Amino acid sequence: MKREELDKLLEKYYKGKSTGEEQNLLISFFKGPDVPEGYEAEKAVFSYFAASSDLPDPSADFEARILSRIDEYEKSGKPVMSGNLAMLIMSTAAGLLIMVGSYFYFSNKNEPQDTFTNPEIAYAETMKILMDVSYRLNKGTKSLEPVGIINSVKSKNIDKNLKNLEYIQTAIDLTRVSVDKK
């Protein structure tokens, strides 16, 4: 099959205007080994159709058999668990599992025990840890000193500029007063 003819058939197929005969022609073409490059996606699609066409159709009385089995089951009187009953049973079981799990979790929790028997050694270890924490905090805050200097310089400049603005505002007010008097 030529590319032009193949493209026309595919376009017709994708628009939904192809006949059953044209679809079968496409399926048989893409089943073969002579598929040109660039048509890998179409080959996968039509290969699926070829494979699914091998499935047998259900028998004529298929629907009737299913409906008769449903009727038999309903007539047998076997209790069917309703949705509300199932939800009640599952929520009760979940609650019991949470309670049992909580009991074992809290009952097996041991209180912390002292790791040192000698209080002097415990005090020395505590002081060692606190000194280490203090050293690290001081080292961290030392690197922030330039930020503090920047803030102090910035606040001095802002105060200076605010004073200049106050002088300007005072001059404006005095000018208004002298103009109003005239």
Instruction: Provide the greatest CA pair distance for the chain.
Output: 114
pLDDT at 78 over 90: no
User: What's the number of domains the chain is made of?
Assistant: 2
Mean pLDDT of the chain: 81
3-state secondary structure of 102: helix
Q: Is residue 112 very low, low, confident or very high in pLDDT (cuts 50, 70, 90)?
A: low
Q: What is the pLDDT of residues 126-154, one digit of tens each?
A: 999 999 999 998 888 888 777 777 777 77
pLDDT at 114 over 80: no
Of the candidates 33, 13, 36, the one whose C-alpha atom is nearest the C-alpha of residue 25 is 13
pLDDT at 94 over 90: yes
Of the candidates 73, 71, 89, 93, the one whose C-alpha atom is nearest the C-alpha of residue 81 is 89
- Structural tokens at position 101: 């799990």
Structural domain including 23 reads: 3-52
Residue 75 lies in a domain: no
pLDDT at 91 over 90: yes
Residue 64 lies in a domain: no
